[in-house]
Amino acid sequence: MKDARDQKIPYKIYLSESEMPKTWYNVRADMKNKPAPLLNPGTLKPMTAEELSGVFCEELVQQELDNDSRYIDIPQEIQDFYKMYRPSPLVRAYCLEEKLQTPAKIYYKFEGNNTSGSHKLNSAIAQAYYAKKQGLKGVTTETGAGQWGTALSMACSYLGLDCKVYMVKCSYEQKPFRREVMRTYGASVTPSPSMETEIGRKILAEHPGTTGSLGCAISEAVETATQNEGYRYVLGSVLNQVLLHQSIIGMETKAALDQYGIVPDMIIGCAGGGSNLGGLISPFMGEKLRGEKDYQFIAVEPASCPSMTRGVYAYDFCDTGMVCPLAKMYTLGSGFIPSANHAGGLRYHGMSSILSQLYADGYMEARSVEQTAVFQAAEAFARVEGILPAPESSHAIKVAIDEAMKCKETGEEKTIVFGLTGTGYFDMMAYEKFHNGEMTDYIPMDEDLQAGFEGIPRFPGNME
């Protein structure tokens, strides 16, 4: 056992119920350059609240457009739901530090302690709550790997809302257990493309036998929401409102660190659409934006889907079906199809507009990592810290370990905080590939990326 173990800091820092955040923090309020607004793809004008409310719940539209309110009250019902599985622990990774023999102090915020197994429940309950409050019958959504669909099913069953999930057909077939968890919580799960929607029938007629894509599932979910009275569409990442809800992660982390006077040097998180990372760093980023403190923020993405490190900053479609508004973001193009990377939650072609703006303005960094190295880090972590991490989360572990090893060389005692977004029980096929030495690292060539960039819309000021 490491002698220098810091007796004052417990293995896990938990907040008491009364110390839990009662507001979300909206980082946009402290950004000088606000994230670019969503555009109507037809008129290229900013989407109005009225246009958005055909697809999204009214209160969520307000949150989406609100660049000014610094704090937004968490409704009591949502606070009560949070109490069932929050606060999530902030863990001091003593065992990992010891294993690495690093002078760095490593902490991780663990979001996998709920049945859905990830942070996505933090926004799912908020979105379901506002749908219920509006008197809606239900919500529709898409799910790829299945984490978001699972979280939303849990939230909807709690509130008695109908939940229709379009699940990318290949995941539907390859991840039967995820599908059954959703059905246990009462969701209807349809493999996409399906015969239920016009767009699904069209895609099936054009590409018989296709196993689907996230973009196609989004189009089906949006169509079902807009064609059925009393339904709205909800999305689990990328949007401003989702980052806002996920700020609960950062608020808790900051409160826990403050109790012990711990000031992190760097905060690391994996980035798919950017919601967990955005939520984790939000209150710290606020301090940086206001010039009160300085932190290093690192977004970690797969080398196979490198939207920040190799993408372009432009307006692009959020979905392959091109039915959603245009968002300004770091993107690989909505037609970019990443190679099979086992971190399904990180295979999105774009990035949150908030994080994209902060990255463009130099407030944060991004790194891409290859999946074999990610699984090596995942396994090393599991063996000493016990938790079986999700492949997505393991991207953050990889960079946290890299940084801790740099500290070992330089002797610096940096304090590293990273987001451990979830558990990997449904990803054992990926672990199996890794153990059998069958995992490959595919990095797209510049030509592959160029093909994706071709699909980004051209208009004055965009890609011209």
- Which residues of this protein are in contact with ligand PLP, per CB under 6 A? 118, 120, 147, 237, 270-276, 345-346, 390, 392-393, 421-422
Taking the least distance from each CB to ligand PLP, the nearer of 9 and 318 is 318
- What's the CA angle centered on 257, arms 376 and 125, to 5 degrees? 75
> 457 pairs with which residues across the strands?
none
CB of 41 to ligand PLP, least distance (A): 23
Taking the least distance from each CB to ligand PLP, the nearer of 274 and 321 is 274
Taking the least distance from each CB to ligand PLP, the nearer of 136 and 139 is 139
CB of 318 to ligand PLP, least distance (A): 13
The DSSP line for 278-324 is: HHHHHHHHHHHHTTS---EEEEEEETTS-HHHH-EEEEEESSTT--S
Do 203 and 210 contact (CB within 8 A), yes or no? yes
* First-last CA distance in the chain: 60
CB of 166 to ligand PLP, least distance (A): 16
Q: Using the structure block, give the residue that is written with the tokens 């790194």.
A: 367
- What's the CA angle centered on 31, arms 27 and 37, to 5 degrees? 90
Calpha distance 39→333 (Å, rounded): 16
Taking the least distance from each CB to ligand PLP, the nearer of 100 and 121 is 121
In eight-state DSSP terms, residue 462 is B
Do 134 and 225 contact (CB within 8 A), yes or no? no
CB of 432 to ligand PLP, least distance (A): 19
Taking the least distance from each CB to ligand PLP, the nearer of 225 and 397 is 397
Q: How far is CA 242 from the centre of its chain?
A: 9
CB of 96 to ligand PLP, least distance (A): 19
Backbone dihedral angles phi then psi of residue 163, each to the nearest 5 degrees: -135, 115
Calpha distance 166→378 (Å, rounded): 30
CB of 177 to ligand PLP, least distance (A): 15
Burial (CB count <10 Å: 0-12, 13-18, 19+), residue 320 = buried
Calpha distance 221→189 (Å, rounded): 11
Taking the least distance from each CB to ligand PLP, the nearer of 13 and 243 is 243
Give kind and range of the element (H or E) at residue 85. Answer: helix 76-85
Taking the least distance from each CB to ligand PLP, the nearer of 221 and 271 is 271
CB of 308 to ligand PLP, least distance (A): 11
Taking the least distance from each CB to ligand PLP, the nearer of 78 and 270 is 270
In eight-state DSSP terms, residue 39 is B
CB of 99 to ligand PLP, least distance (A): 23
Taking the least distance from each CB to ligand PLP, the nearer of 280 and 404 is 280
The DSSP line for 208-223 is: TT----HHHHHHHHHH
Taking the least distance from each CB to ligand PLP, the nearer of 25 and 94 is 25
CB of 311 to ligand PLP, least distance (A): 14
In eight-state DSSP terms, residue 3 is T
The DSSP line for 182-196 is: HHHTT-EEEEES-SS
CB of 64 to ligand PLP, least distance (A): 15
